[in-house]
Every structure is written in structure tokens, then in C-alpha cells.
Amino acid sequence: MLKLMTAGESHGVGYIVILEGLPSGLPLSAEVVNRELVRRQRGFGSGARMKIERDRAEIVGGVMEGLTTGAPLGIWIANRNHEQWKGKEIPPMTVPRPGHADLTAALKYGYNDLRPALERASARETVARVAAGAVCRHLLAQFGIRIGGYVRSIGKVTARTENTPLEERASIAEGNDLRCPDPEALEAMRTEVKDAMQARDTVGGVIEAFAVGLPVGVGSHAHWEKRLDARIAAAMLSIPSAKGVEIGEAFANSRRRGTQAHDPILINEDGSLTRPTNRAGGIEGGISNGEPILVRVALKPIATTLSPQQSADLLTGKPTKTQYERSDFCHVPRAVPVVEAMLAFVLADALLDALGEGTMDALLARFAQMPRPHLRAARVDGFAHKFWG
Ligand SMILES: Cc1cc2nc3c(=O)[nH]c(=O)nc-3n(C[C@H](O)[C@H](O)[C@H](O)COP(=O)(O)O)c2cc1C
């Protein structure tokens, strides 16, 4: 239902975001987007660019008198530092960084200078994703669906969160510059980043994101492209530097026996169904089961390191070392809003698949008909009648 396109380069004039497939009648202002753009700019371990960015979104289509019209939504975000680069003689870059898009993009697209590769592969493009994600998050909120995220680990340091409710984890994390949900792990994470900086190196980590309030029935078991877990995984792996995705306790489950890996289905006295655990991360058979959606994303350490790495000069054909470009040391805290944005996009898209097109009022009425997280006895009876009665 939803289509997202982005265009723009890191040092170009700016980024264009087009989001197509929104309902009409959704109240929307640039402020909704700007709040998320500010979140993307915060984070310990970021490089100098964050200080110059100060992003502002401008809505250029799809909204009239403060409401979406159902037409494609257009958002424009200017690159504030474009003026500084305009007209400057920039020497060609011919030494690819291992782990970046420099070499693969140059070989595929025949670039003589690696700049077009890094200009587009740059994570500056995530400003466009966060803008679109802000709109999706805002849409989901109209249905009572909330999204959050935090840093689970940086390097060797892992936050302990077992005893903290999901939304509390996110609000603790939002209160510190490492987006760490565990006050006891916070300083250890900071040391991990500082150690990497001192070693003139970079460090990666794992982000956890969740969605609460999603009803049963989003996604489908019937076709591979419609499986909600598959859609989430693909969206997460589209984030630059994201190399691993886990839904629920997928990796721990792979080490458990079946009877210990799944979430029992309990019938309460009132006939409602509950799940005492959520190892599945809220998705069974590619369909949301009403429990919180849980996803983890592993980010590799950034490829641009102050310490040179072994490479080759594509101009001279000689072995050489990489040169340093202005860069982050640890991008993990800053990538939390990006992970949340991609989750918001996929869930909004999958929810709209279930609700269809039209006005917000029509969608809200259809939403009210969706199965609730805890199925009632009447519904269980209905199933029995249908399949076995
Ligand atoms: C929020 C964020 C910030 C990033 N910042 C940098 C950076 O400063 N320097 C860098 O080399 N890579 C950075 N990256 C990662 C590169 O964009 C990424 O490694 C590159 O596009 C190659 O893609 P791949 O790592 O997915 O293969 C960042 C990624 C994210 C999500």
C-alpha cells in the first residue's frame, strides 16, 4: 500500500522524500517530522557533521489545510552544508574503504571517482527515512500503535533490561546520549566508545525496537512477500551498516528445544486467550499475534576508521592505505530513530494492506473490526463452528 522513495546526495542540495498511499484526513504538519529529525541528530560518538546539520523538513505536497489529501506526500529537507561545498574543487577519491560501498558501486557503475558512490551510500540518506518514518509513526499513533527503541549493546557492553517494561526502556534511553535503557550499563558503554576513539577506530552494536498495540492479523502467512517478519527483516537490512536481524528470541530459540522455544496459548476463565511469554516477538506465521513486535538489529562498526586500513589505489593500481573522511566513531545511538522509522514504515504499510484505502474515518472504523490481541470466547466458538462444528 505504501511506497517510499528517496533521492538526494550527502553534499547535494538536499533530500526529497515521497510517500505514496497515505489515507486522506490525517492531520499532519512539518513539526511532526522535525521532532524525529532532531532525535536523529543526537548521540554520543557522532562526528562533526551532526553539529552542522540542524535538519528541517518542508512539506511540499499531499497536505492541504493541515490534513493529508490522499495524494503522494512530498517532503523536502535541505542540506545545510551544501553552500560550503558549492564551487569547491574536490579532489577525486580513488582509494576504496573496505566495508563501504566505494569499491562495489564504482565497479558496478563505472565511476572513475568514488565520490558518487559515497555521496549516495552515505547514511545522510537516513534523514529521508526518518522523515517518512515520522509520518508513519504518526499514522500508527492514530490507531494506538506505539513504537520505541534503544541501544541493546555497544561493542562488548550489553544493557540489562529484563525487569524494565518496554516503553519504560525507551523513555530511559531517550534521556541519555547513548540511548542506553540500563543506567548501570551507561558509563560502560561510554567507555567502550571512548576506547574505540582513542584507538582511532570505530565500534558497532545492537539496537532493539518494539511496537505495542498492533492488533492480530497484520501480515499474512499466505504469500512470502506478505510475511510480516520477512518485511521487517528486509527493511532493517536496508539500513546502511545493518548486517543482522533477529525477531523475538530467534537466536536463543535456535538453541532451545521446541517445547521451550514457543509461547504457550492459555485460555483464561473469561475465555480470553493470553500468551505468558513473547519469544516469537509478536509474529507467528508471518502474522502479528497481538503481542509486542520485538526486533533486534546488529550494526557493524563504521568502515571509515582514523587508523588506515589496507586497500588499493584504483588510479595507480598500487597497494595503499585508506584515507580518513569526516565520520562517526559509533553511530549506534544515532541509528535508533532510523531503526524505529523503518519499523514504523513496514507496520504502517502492512496495516494499510489490512485496512485498505480511503479516509482516516473509514480506516478507523475498519480497524475497530480487526481481531483484538486477546481473542474472546465467542471468537474461539466461532472458529470451532467453522472448522470443526
Ligand atoms: C546513522 C548511521 C550513521 C552512519 N555514519 C557513518 C559514517 O559516519 N561513516 C561511515 O563510513 N559509515 C557510516 N554509516 C554506515 C555506512 O553508511 C555504510 O556502512 C555504507 O553505506 C555501506 O553499506 P553497508 O555497511 O550496509 O554494506 C552510518 C550508518 C548509519 C545507519
CA-CA distance, 381 to 189, in Å (whole number)? 51
Q: Is the pLDDT of residue 343 over 60?
A: yes
Determine the distance separating the centroid of ligand 1 and the alpha carbon of 356, expressed in angstroms.
35
CA-CA distance, 289 to 282, in Å (whole number)? 5
Determine the distance separating the centroid of ligand 1 and the alpha carbon of 29, expressed in angstroms.
29
What one-letter code names the amino acid at 27?
A: P
The confidence score (pLDDT) of residue 42 equals 85
Residue whose CA is at the smallest distance from ligand 1 atom 22: 100
Q: What is the DSSP letter of 226?
A: G
The confidence score (pLDDT) of residue 252 equals 97
What one-letter code names the amino acid at 23?
A: P
The confidence score (pLDDT) of residue 270 equals 79
Cell numbers standing for residue 12? 547535494
Determine the distance separating the centroid of ligand 1 and the alpha carbon of 303, expressed in angstroms.
7
Q: What is the mean pLDDT of residues 131-159?
A: 98
Q: What is the mean pLDDT of residues 182-209?
A: 97
Q: What is the mean pLDDT of residues 243-262?
A: 97
Determine the distance separating the centroid of ligand 1 and the alpha carbon of 311, expressed in angstroms.
18
Give the mutation target among 6, 51, 122 for probing the ligand 1 site: most ligand atoms within 8 A of CB. Answer: 122
Asked if residues 72 and 19 have their Cβ atoms less than 8 Å apart, the reply is: yes
The confidence score (pLDDT) of residue 373 equals 56
The confidence score (pLDDT) of residue 382 equals 44
Determine the distance separating the centroid of ligand 1 and the alpha carbon of 232, expressed in angstroms.
20
pLDDT band at 384 (very low <50, low <70, confident <90, very high): very low
The confidence score (pLDDT) of residue 48 equals 58
The CB density around residue 116, as the number of other CB atoms within 10 Å, is 15
Which class is 3-388 in CATH? Answer: alpha beta
Closest CA to 242 of 200, 187, 204: 204
Residue range 253-276, pLDDT digits in tens: 999 999 999 999 998 887 778 899
Cell numbers standing for residue 89? 574543487
Domain ranges of the chain: 3-388
Closest CA to 122 of 336, 338, 344: 338
CA-CA distance, 100 to 116, in Å (whole number)? 13
317 burial (CB, 10 Å; 0-12 / 13-18 / 19+) is exposed
The confidence score (pLDDT) of residue 271 equals 76
Residue whose CA is at the smallest distance from ligand 1 atom 28: 123
Beta bridge partners of 296: 208, 246
Q: What is the mean pLDDT of residues 114-134?
A: 96
Q: What is the mean pLDDT of residues 46-64?
A: 80
Q: What is the mean pLDDT of residues 137-154?
A: 98
Q: What angle do CA 107, 111, 116 make, to 5 degrees?
A: 110
Residue whose CA is at the smallest distance from ligand 1 atom 12: 302
Q: Is the pLDDT of residue 200 over 60?
A: yes
The residues lining ligand 1, judged by C-beta closer than 6 Å to any ligand atom, are 47, 100-101, 121-123, 126, 239-241, 302-304, 327-328, 331, 334-335, 338
Determine the distance separating the centroid of ligand 1 and the alpha carbon of 118, expressed in angstroms.
10
| Mean pLDDT estimate for the chain | 92
Q: What is the mean pLDDT of residues 237-263?
A: 97
Q: For a pLDDT cut of 90, what percent of the chain falls above it?
A: 83
361 burial (CB, 10 Å; 0-12 / 13-18 / 19+) is exposed
Q: What is the mean pLDDT of residues 65-85?
A: 91
Sequence-distant (≥ 6) Cβ neighbours of residue 163 within 8 angstroms = none
Ramachandran assignment for 361, one of left (phi > 0), alpha (psi -120 to 50 degrees), beta (any other)? alpha
CA-CA distance, 128 to 298, in Å (whole number)? 21
Q: Report the range of poorest mean pLDDT among 6-15, 133-142, 328-337, 364-373.
A: 364-373
Q: Is the pLDDT of residue 281 over 80?
A: yes
